[in-house]
Amino acid sequence: MHSKAQLRVADLFVPLVVLSFLPVHAATPIKIDTTNLVVTVDATSCRWSAEVKGTPMRLNEVHFLPDDDSSGWSVASSIDQDDTSSLGSFVSVTLRGTKPGQLDFGYQISVSKAGNDILVSLGRSNNTGKAVDIGDMDYFVSSDARLGGATDKWISLGTMTRNRDYYDLNTVVHLITPQMYTVNHVVRDTASGNSLLMGHVTALKGSSRFEVGQGWQGKTPDRMQVRGYCSYKVTMPPGKSFAGEKLLIDFNTDALRAMEHQADLIAAAHDVRLQQRRPIDLSDRDLVANDYSRFHGWMSGGNNAGARKFFEENGLIDFYWGMGGPAPQGSFGVYGAGGSTQGRPARINYPAECYLPVHTTKYGGERVIDFSNPLTVKLERERAFLWVNGHEKDTGRAEMDFADWWDKWPGQYDPYMSALETYRAGGVPWREVVDQKAPRMVIRSNMNVVDHSYGIVDINRTSEDADGGYELGEGYKHLLTESLLGTAIRFFYSGRVFWNDGDGFHIYKFNPNLGSNGKFSYGEGKVSANFHAIAANVLLISEAFNEKYPDDRIELLKRISPPTMDVSYPVDLFARKPAQVWNMPVERPFGKWSVLAVFNYSNTMAASQNPPQFSTSLDAVKDLRLEPDKEYLVYEFWSRKFIGVFKGAFATRPLSPYDCDVYSIVEKQNWPVLISTSRHVRQMAFDIKDLAYDGQQRVLRGVSRAVAGDPYQLRIYVPDGFTAQRVELSGGLMAKMAANGSLLTVDYTASSGNDVEWKVFFR
């Protein structure tokens, strides 16, 4: 994976056309005019502005020099009309500045030729003859960013670096003190949908920060203050240079897609290729079961032996539930000696020079590992190769854990390495080992600084420990709430940069020492199971499994496992905290459809109603990414009901507290259409391997994955003019057909786990 993106200093400090120093605005500004954007750059004042053509969206008088003071700087500029890379095709302006006693800069503004992206980078070169401390460094600052309309309709949210830090929904007009996020900061106008995303694309040396605050002139709050900068905390020796991070400014009309687009750029910049290199390969059941859909006993009070027996007795192994792989768990990136959690290998044999002369204030005062020391990296690489020896064909995992407070601390061997660089130095050896020696293993992170892990980690946990209970509310700790919030704000990573893991979850029984009575009601278990099955791509069931479980909980486990490579997004992220509506577009060679999940997490979600039910109306285009003029068929999985047909907008059913609906949404055709199956809550995304309708023969045929002894049902919409005649199944299986209006059901039970070919004939 995972070669690191190489941003060369030479890419920023290119041959330049020198401009003689003139008073501010005396030189002719550089103008870039692309399909969607107009950007003007004043090289002498080191300011620039941008606007989206035909819209009120703009960013005015952007600066990056300290105090916005260009006096004393000698600035040269160059233009690249065809700056093309894996990030897209751009027109780029590079400014190079020098000033006696100051670090030289190489500042680049890259304007997308076809889209709305503006990439900004700021490199530095130390020609002062002395070491220079670098803390925070501004990349872009503006007191005049506009979306159109007024800031009392602009909703702000963003993503933090640590997985235990979540998000708030803020109205920009109330941000008297600017709000800061570290991965991205997104502002959306609720009236028009016009949005601004500021986020990073690379995270190699400088840790990004993005601030939004209120700001206007006169009586109309029509603009905001924005700032993008990076934190380095390094001492730069004389003669050294570094290329800055790539920061993204993206004006758009779909904030959720913009966040997904940011993740696509991150993946391209860090050469991730997640779905090609670490696929959830459903043809390799052991890999999926042990790496992506497994028992996780950390907070449950259960153990591996009890879980294995439970899985075997209830036939859950056939539903891809696994135990975490036969290979031993490896751990890296721990602050200090380790060895205290889940049998992680200790580092007590590392020499003293591999540690910093400080101890953590957390985790029992452990020593802090120093990955700026080449000896530490060498020993870590040797330890990683030793760990994998003899397990090259196994499934399993290495874990980055207890690194969420990773920072630059005193006494580092190389003070020019940032905290981000030392983190990556400790992780890259494990990435190399897994890629070279153990292709069926994965690397996952737990307590983690998420953005330090690009290109290193395959599975990223989206929250703090969240498997200790259910109830929602402020002051939550180890509760479902943390999965809801952490997974919602990090949705854009899944399937692009990482496979998102919503942490361990419960369906029935957990460790009562963590509070509550240690039991989930069926409704709580249903909500928790379905949320993790739809919003994440890793399932870690965390249960005691030390008594007989109700049949309805076993059924939950059967219908949610395993995950597929399809990913979902929180439709109402900017409207509700936590989001209650998740949509999963599914695409296969034989068709496209959607899986829509709607949740009522508790009796506080809609307190104004009595009883507190939840329902909402969803726009086909804006919310569900469907066509406005097409008709769609809707089937609800858990109630086994055909809901009907809609066009343009879909109104969800009223949901009582502690419940969820999971709909399959399929385009209506003039012939019979498969709209749902009973095997999996992702409805057809897992079990249907092939599907086609033969118009000449009037036959709907397909291939389904099977579980021996598990009753299976096909749900088929039959339009007027068609009547089902008979069903043919492979392997000599028999089926039962039943018609109820326009819904046809076909039921059969496979005698083995072999795929079943089926044909339904119509007249």
H or E element, residue 422: helix 419-437
| Residue 672: per-residue pLDDT | 98
Residue 23 has pLDDT above 60, yes or no: no
For 164-286, where are the E strands, in sequence order? 170-171, 179-181, 184-189, 195-200, 207-215, 223-236, 241-242, 247-252
Mean pLDDT value across residues 336-345 = 40
For residue 141, the one-letter residue type is V
* pTM to 2 decimal places: 0.94
Tokens 């005649």 locate to 725
Q: Is the pLDDT of residue 159 over 80?
A: yes
Determine the pLDDT at residue 335: 56
How far apart (Å, rounded) are the C-alpha atoms in residues 240 and 236? 7
Shortest CA distance to 649 belongs to which of 685, 606, 615? 615
Gap between the Cα atoms of 543 and 553, Å rounded: 11
Mean pLDDT of the chain: 91
The stretch 655-668 carries a mean pLDDT of: 97
Q: Pick 45 or 516 by higher pLDDT.
A: 45
pLDDT digit string (tens) for 85-102? 999 999 999 999 999 999
Cβ-contact 431, 376 below 8 angstroms:
no
Quote the pLDDT of residue 469: 85
Residue 212: predicted pLDDT: 98
Contact 460, 498 (CB under 8 A): yes
Which listed CATH number (3.40.50.1370, 2.60.40.1180, 2.60.120.10, 3.90.1010.10) goes with 580-762?
A: 2.60.40.1180
pLDDT at residue 363, rounded to an integer: 63
CB 79 within 8 A of CB 30: yes
How much is the pLDDT for 20? 31
Please give the average per-residue pLDDT across 415-425, as a whole number. 95
User: In this structure, what are the phi and psi dihedrals at residue 552, rounded to the nearest 5 degrees?
Assistant: -70, -25
- Measured distance between the N- and C-terminal CA atoms of the chain, rounded to whole angstroms: 52
Identity of the residue numbered 331: S
More confident residue, 301 or 24: 301
pLDDT of residue 171: 97
CB atoms within 10 A of CB 759: 15
Question: How many Cα atoms are found within 13 Å in the side-chain-facing hemisphere of 701?
Answer: 12
Identify the CATH assignment for 9-269 out of 3.40.50.1110, 2.40.50.140, 2.70.98.10, 3.30.420.10.
Answer: 2.70.98.10
Give me the mean pLDDT over the 391-397 stretch: 95
Is 256 in a helix, a strand, or coil? Answer: helix
In tens, the pLDDT along 251-281 reads 999 999 999 999 999 999 999 999 999 999 9
> Is pLDDT at 675 greater than 50 in this prediction?
yes
Cα radius of gyration rounded to whole Å, the chain: 28
> What is the number of other CB atoms lying within 10 angstroms of the CB of residue 710?
15
What is the predicted pLDDT for the residue at 375? 96
Q: Which residue has the higher pLDDT, 350 or 737?
A: 737
Mean pLDDT confidence for 470-485: 82
pLDDT at 349: 73
Lowest mean pLDDT among 348-357, 664-673, 710-719, 750-759: 348-357
| Separation CA 66–CA 137 (nearest Å) | 9
Residue 660 belongs to what H/E stretch?
Answer: strand 659-667
Per-residue pLDDT averaged across 680-685, rounded?
98
Closest CA to 445 of 538, 376, 320: 538
The 10s digit of each residue's pLDDT in 140-149 is: 999 999 999 9
Q: Enumerate residues 6+ apart whose C-beta is below 8 A from 485.
A: 166, 167, 463, 577, 578
Percent of all residues in the chain with a pLDDT value above 70, rounded to a whole number: 91
Q: Residues 485-503: what's their mean pLDDT? A: 97
* Beta partners for residue 266, in sequence order: none
Instruction: Report d(CA 500, CA 496) in Å as an integer.
Output: 10
- List the domain boundaries for the chain: 9-269, 276-327+449-568, 328-437, 580-762
Give the least confident one: 2-6, 290-294, 419-423: 2-6
DSSP state for residue 131 in the 8-state scheme: -
Residue 337: its pLDDT value, please?
41
pLDDT of residue 516: 55
| Position 317 confidence tier, pLDDT thresholds 50, 70, 90 | very high
Question: What is residue 16's predicted lDDT score, i.e. its pLDDT?
Answer: 34
pLDDT given for residue 127 in this prediction:
98
Is the pLDDT at 339 greater than 70, yes or no? no
| Res 338 pLDDT > 60 | no
The torsion angles phi and psi of 290, rounded to 5 degrees, stand at -85, -25
pLDDT, position 494: 98
Q: What are the beta bridge partners of residue 633?
A: 645, 666
